[in-house]
Amino acid sequence: MGLARRIADLFRVKAHKALDQAEDPREVLDYSYSKQLELLNKVRRGVADVATSRKRVELQLSQLQASAGKLEGQAQQALSAGREEIAREALSRRAAALSQADSLEEQHASLRAEEDRLTLASQRLQAKVEAFRTRKETIKATYTAAEAQTRISESVTGISEEMGDVGLAVQRAEDKTAHLQARAGALDELIASGALEDATLPAGRDDLQVQLDGLTSGRDVDEELARLRRQLDARPAPPALPAEPATDERRGQEGAS
């Protein structure tokens, strides 16, 4: 029995928490306001129905009063004509009409009181509904502002789920970048120390071999320069060019000088 009670309590707690998360106070306030409006409309319809009944009673009462006045006149005419029996019957009908009129007057007074009571209740309820509407809109505006402020604060501080995912992605990217930088630095140190070979160099070449190749290349260049100098020294001198014959114009210029 104790276990079943705890399970039931746990279920109620979970259900209450889920309901609290899904519930929007603004929707609850709007729903309450709509229910109050429905109640106000019912009260107003009640006032209209009572007023309609009162008007109907007033019409019936007016008809009975008119009928009683007519019967009284007929009784007087019958009595003047010596028709006492007819006068008596007219007066009897007049008394019945007046009795009905008295009953209708009581109903009319009761309906008038009910109409006044419902009208007052309608006015009070309308005032309460208007006050609730004003308070509702104020609470909704305050809730909306607080909700927006909370979302902004969560975004700025990174508490929200979306910003949390972005923060994790940035952290993973930074971790991978740091790992790659450390790996590249370690490989450079290993290559510089000779523990690893540079894959871009020909196979079997190391730093010592590169230095030896540089010295050999330098000697080859010096030997090539010496060979070219010896070849230039061994070549015969080129023959002298013959003198150009003097033209007549040139002879005239020389005689004039």
Distant-in-sequence, close-in-space partners of 113: CB < 8 Å, separation ≥ 6: none
Burial 188-220 (b: 16+ CB within 10 A, else e): eeeeeeeeeeeeeeeeeeeeeeeeeeeeeeeee
Residue type, 39: L
Of 79-93, 134-148, 195-209, 215-229, give the lowest mean pLDDT range: 195-209
pLDDT in tens, 174-207: 888 888 888 777 777 766 666 656 555 555 555 5
Q: What is the pTM of this model?
A: 0.48
Of residues 38, 48, 31, the one with CA closest to residue 114: 48
Q: What is the pLDDT of residue 199?
A: 59
Distant-in-sequence, close-in-space partners of 115: CB < 8 Å, separation ≥ 6: 47, 50, 51, 54
Q: What is the pLDDT of residue 134?
A: 92
Of residues 117, 124, 145, the one with CA closest to residue 132: 124
Tokens of 11: 């279920």
Average pLDDT over residues 136-153: 86
Q: What is the pLDDT of residue 232?
A: 73
pLDDT in tens, 52-99: 999 999 899 889 888 888 888 888 888 888 888 888 888 888 888 888
Domain ranges of the chain: 11-160
Of residues 101, 113, 106, the one with CA closest to residue 72: 101
